[in-house]
Amino acid sequence: MVEMAADGEKQQGHRPGIYKQKNKGHKHGKHRTKGEIERENKGRVSVTVLTKKQRKEQKKMDRRHKANQLRKNKKDMVLTEKRRLGSRDGPPHLVVVVSLHAQVDAGAITKLLRGEGAGGIVHHDRCISGVSDSFGLILPRFKQRFTFLSQSTADMHSLLDVTKIADSLVFVLDSTEGWDTYGDYCLSCIFAQGLPSYALVCQGVSELPVKKRVESRRALSKITEARFPDARLFPLDSEQDATLLLRHLGTQRQRKLGFRSKRSHLIAQHVTFTPNNPVDSTSGATGLGTLCVSGYVRGRPLRVDRLVHISGHGDFQLSQIDAPVDPLPLNLTVSRPLKASKGGDVDMQDGGENEAPVRVLMKADPSNRESLQAEAEVDPMDGEQTWPTESELLEAEEARKKKRVMKVPKGTSDYQATWIVDEGEEENGDMDEESSDNDDDDDMMDEAMDKEDGETDSQDPGSCCDSEEEEEEEEEEEVCSTERAGADQRYDEHMDEAAEEEGLKRYRDARANEMFPDEVDTPLDTPARIRFQRYRGLKSFRSSPWDPMENLPLDYSRIFQFQSFERTRRRILAEAAAEEDGAMDGWYVTLHIIDVPFSVMESVQSGKPLVLVSLLPHEQKMSVMHVLVRRHPSNTEPIKSKEELVFHCGFRRFRASPIYSQHTSADKHKMERFLRPDAPAVVSLYAPITFPPAGVLLFKQRNDGIQDLVATGSLLSCDPQRVVLKRIALSGHPFKINRRSAVVRYMFFNRDDIMWFKPVELRTKWGRRGHIKEALGTHGHMKCVFDNQLRSQDTVLMNLYKRVYPRWTYDPYVPAPLTWVKKEGTVEMEDLDME
């Protein structure tokens, strides 16, 4: 037994230890095979594979079938959504007719569409509240229903509001020119906020000779292809053409607009107002009341506990949602009953003897209803309060004793005396202004005297003026000068001198900023360390730190901030897409909006359409919004920072005073003093929170009330911690140059300022960098050292920065703009608020 065991040990062989030498393998230049990798791993699997969900391997045919199923489901979903619009289960197809030329008549288009030969049945005339030229059209042949309205381009606000919710636009073109200048301006505004599906229509082609029809359509297509490439042009001169246009509108592909597809919205078809106090109805109806708005729900389901926004008027709360009878049923005899949504109660209300009962779909719960609070509550005592030290109290007492002695009326107390302004300073300032004005007047008088002297010197004393020809020439010159003076006087009557002076000042400032960017002159009468005490120097604008929570203004206590705006946006939009509660898309409902001012009803009575949208959570709260815009080519006037503009952001319309900054990926952004025409800019302003995507339009209102399109863009983000820095550059001139060192003057004018700004780095326009070494004398000369020798024509600069914030001038109530209207060769100004 022992021997067999010994033989077994001999057969087992020798096992090498851990210290056995391993020679390098031959570098054959090939990759390892799968077998070699498996042998080296010895069954070990990486942790990343173990933690992931095991994927089921599918065969080739299974993968192909799955792709076909996904493609079929997506196609069916698109077809279902397309067929739903204008059908029995969806809202009517909303079509807006817009004329782009002053010589075309949109009323002729709508008259032709409502004709009997087009195959439609006009069931509900003037179906849009406030719009006279609107009607409902039912097409039994296509099993579709339409709502047409003709919107005038004179009222830009109403035009933009209506095109935001329109399913299709019908652009009426001139048969020869296409669109005029104002029509192109309207197209720019519509394209900037989002263009829905459209159709191009022109009239008058059939009146042309047969040979010229093809040439006319070819020329018109060449004009339209710049704005509408590959667009079909529909002639509309007969009822057969109207039928083809209706078929095209009902079957064309619908273009999705992101800002409206995420929210529920409707256009008012019937509006009533009930004041809270009956006294208000007799005293002019200026108080608050309940506004009942009826219309078709579009987009997402409408919930009663959400806030609603009326374009141009503000945010409001809902009390209940009713379901009246559909005024435009596809089947004229039977109207479909509405079922209660999930969690909603259906109550019946008597609608009168001749009216059908009204169903109450849902009522708002005050405990679950969203609040109208737009600003955070500011506690002025919510801050760190520190008691002054004894030394600070003594300094304040000494400063109070070292008051300037001035003469005051008898009986004036010390407190009253502090408010009296020294008359000597005002007199000095007035004298300086008067002296400068007098100097200008003297210069003008000197020039006039010189001209008169020159004219008297140039006269020939021996010349004879008694001839009849010379007298006739003098009479003709007098008549011409009188006519010229009258023409000049008539021209000056239409000129606003104040606006001209303001425009000249703005142009000079923009020109100076373009030639000498950010350069500021150091004042002579004020120390630079006092004048620029809010500025600081940065070693590197890109990498130097700047605390975004440092020295925030008081307005920041009134706004709201997200920990992660992008994460919140994704969550809220996902929840809105999955909602199934509320009034569904396509239902005809009546919304009871509470605490609405009577001015909303006045706007409807004046002929303006009423557009209403349901807000997402947090969209009523104020914050710092950032918009990425680009200057519109038609506007060349300088637009200064913090200048009040009119904003169209999504469904909102308001006024604000923004600041402009560069669009970069860094953590600090340089402020732009003017809106640049050659580069995109980020516009920062105080405004209600809006979740992107959303188109943005910027208008500037003139002194005469006309609004000009300034810039267009899209919503970027909501970030109060975005640091915008204003840069100033103090300039100096090299006085003496000695290799790398130089004596610089005119940057400062006293020794203390030089020592105060000594740590800040210097740069030159030619790329040199350096620092202040020492001050020379007491008049602002300083010795500076640079990385290379300076040029005599170079300029030394010192960059200083401070953080800037927008100006809080948010106003949700924007008055209707004035527009220029052409009447028989004359130009007049029309107020759109007038009936």
Rounded to whole angstroms, the Cα distance separating 800 from 518 reads: 10
Q: Which residues face 112 on adjacent strands?
A: none
Residue with the two structure tokens 């396509």: 586
CA distances from 658 to 281, 673, 683, 804 (A): 40, 11, 6, 11
Question: For residue 244, what is the domain's CATH number?
Answer: 3.40.50.300
pLDDT on residue 486:
66
Provide the mean pLDDT of the chain: 80
Three-class SS of residue 409?
coil
* Average pLDDT for 194-223: 84
Q: How many residues does the chain have?
A: 835
pLDDT band (50, 70, 90) for residue 328: confident
* Average pLDDT for 510-525: 81
Name the region of 84 (left: φ>0; alpha: ψ -120 to 50; beta: rest).
alpha
Q: Any long-range contacts for 251-256 (C-beta under 8 Å, 24+ apart)?
A: 252/168, 252/197, 252/199, 253/82, 253/197, 254/81, 254/82, 254/85, 254/167, 254/168, 254/196, 254/197, 255/195, 255/196, 255/197
User: Which is more confidently placed, 431 or 648?
Assistant: 648
How many domains, the chain?
Answer: 2
Rounded to whole angstroms, the Cα distance separating 188 from 251 reads: 26
pLDDT at residue 731 is higher than 50:
yes
Q: What is the pLDDT of residues 111-156, one digit of tens each?
A: 888 877 666 777 766 677 767 778 888 888 888 888 999 888 888 8
Question: Would residue 456 count as lying in a domain?
Answer: no
pLDDT on residue 747:
92
Query: Is 719 in contact with 565 (CB distance < 8 Å)?
Result: yes
pLDDT at residue 88 is higher than 80:
no
* Average pLDDT for 518-540: 91
Question: Would residue 179 count as lying in a domain?
Answer: yes
Rounded to whole angstroms, the Cα distance separating 263 from 614 reads: 6
Rounded to whole angstroms, the Cα distance separating 384 from 367 reads: 35
Residue with the two structure tokens 């200083």: 800
Rounded to whole angstroms, the Cα distance separating 463 from 168 reads: 80
Question: For residue 765, what is the domain's CATH number?
Answer: 2.40.10.190
pLDDT at residue 359 is higher than 60:
yes
pLDDT at residue 601 is higher than 50:
yes
Question: Would residue 332 count as lying in a domain?
Answer: no
User: Residue 750 sits in which domain range?
Assistant: 519-540+725-803
* Average pLDDT for 301-329: 90
Three-class SS of residue 446?
helix
- Tokens at 179, concatenated: 């669109």
Rounded to whole angstroms, the Cα distance separating 277 from 302 reads: 29
pLDDT on residue 481:
64
55 Cβ partners below 8 Å, 6+ apart?
none
Question: Would residue 566 count as lying in a domain?
Answer: no
pLDDT at residue 829 is higher than 60:
no
Omega before 693 cis (within 30°)?
yes
Pairing mode, strands 796-803 and 723-738? antiparallel
pLDDT band (50, 70, 90) for residue 236: confident
The distance between the two most distant Cα atoms of the chain, rounded to a whole number of Å, is 164
pLDDT on residue 284:
45
* 623-627, 699-703, 739-743: segment of lowest average pLDDT: 699-703
pLDDT band (50, 70, 90) for residue 562: very high
Three-class SS of residue 429?
helix
pLDDT on residue 483:
64
CA distances from 217 to 113, 180, 252, 518 (A): 22, 17, 22, 53
pLDDT at residue 3 is higher than 80:
no
Residue with the two structure tokens 């009253």: 416
pLDDT on residue 392:
79
Residue with the two structure tokens 């109060």: 720
pLDDT on residue 631:
92
Q: What is the pLDDT of residues 782-817, one digit of tens each?
A: 999 999 989 888 999 999 999 999 999 999 888 776
pLDDT on residue 207:
76
Question: Would residue 687 count as lying in a domain?
Answer: no
* Average pLDDT for 269-293: 76
Highest mean pLDDT pick, 58-72, 219-233, 711-725:
711-725
Rounded to whole angstroms, the Cα distance separating 123 from 137 reads: 6
Q: What letter would DSSP give residue 366? A: T
User: Which is more confidently placed, 403 or 307?
Assistant: 307
Rounded to whole angstroms, the Cα distance separating 142 from 138 reads: 9
User: Which is more confidently placed, 358 or 174?
Assistant: 174
Question: Would residue 729 count as lying in a domain?
Answer: yes
pLDDT at residue 430 is higher than 60:
no
pLDDT band (50, 70, 90) for residue 8: very low
Question: Would residue 218 count as lying in a domain?
Answer: yes
Query: What angle is formed at CA 190 by the lines to CA 186 and CA 193, rounded to 5 degrees?
Result: 140
Of 234, 257, 280, at which residue does a domain stop?
A: 257
Q: Among 75, 95, 78, which Cα is nearest to 86's? A: 95
Q: Among 344, 158, 237, which Cα is nearest to 819's? A: 158
Rounded to whole angstroms, the Cα distance separating 422 from 736 reads: 44
pLDDT on residue 827:
34
pLDDT band (50, 70, 90) for residue 386: low
* 318-322, 576-580, 702-706: segment of lowest average pLDDT: 702-706
* 194-203, 423-432, 511-520: segment of lowest average pLDDT: 423-432
pLDDT on residue 9:
45
**Continuous segment of H or E residues that includes residue 783:** strand 781-786
pLDDT band (50, 70, 90) for residue 62: confident
32 Cβ partners below 8 Å, 6+ apart?
40
Q: List strand residue ranges (DSSP E) for 162-269, in order.
A: 168-173, 197-202, 233-235, 265-267
Of 257, 288, 310, at which residue does a domain stop?
A: 257
470 Cβ partners below 8 Å, 6+ apart?
none
Question: Would residue 50 count as lying in a domain?
Answer: no
CA distances from 780 to 369, 496, 738 (A): 66, 45, 19
Name the region of 746 (left: φ>0; alpha: ψ -120 to 50; beta: rest).
left
Of 217, 236, 257, at which residue does a domain stop?
A: 257
User: Which is more confidently placed, 524 or 423?
Assistant: 524
* 279-293, 402-416, 458-472, 553-567: segment of lowest average pLDDT: 458-472
What is this structure's pTM? 0.73
pLDDT on residue 55:
57
